[in-house]
Homo-oligomer: A and B are copies of this chain.
Amino acid sequence: MKYNEFEHCGLNVSLQMLSGKWKPIILYHLFHNQQIRFTELWRIIPKVAKKVLLDHLRQMENDGLIIRNERSGFPPEVCYRLSEKGKALGPILSSLEAWANEHAAREVEALRKANSARRKSE
């Protein structure tokens, strides 16, 4: 092999950080809001279990994609927002979005409809 081996490791790492059933929608909302409170995020993501949402947020925090901000007192108030590292992913995620819309329009439409129907039935 004349090309450099192990060039795929970075790809592995980044895809790993993005893998998780609810990460795309979490990222989407974080890119459209400066910050979001936990319960608000839980409310706008339909049907995700609280534990799972927390798992995802913890992973993303550990990976340095997002920042968790806790205001002490009662009731507690926790906000999540993108880190610089997370923001740097913006253009790439847009490219992936565009690629899917161009090359997998059928699947994207199907998913859109499924989500839309689910939202209405609540």
Contacts and interface: CB of A to CB of B under 8 A. Distances in A.
Task: Classify the interface of chain A: helix, strand, loop or mixed.
Answer: helix
Contact of A108 (B3, B9, B19, B119): B9
A107 interface: yes
A49 interface: no
Interface string A7-35: 11111111101110001110110001000
A28 B9 CA distance: 10
Interface of A: 1, 3, 5-15, 17-19, 23-25, 27-28, 32, 44, 63-64, 85, 88-89, 91-93, 95-104, 107-108, 111-112, 115-116, 119
Most buried by B among A96, A101, A107: A96
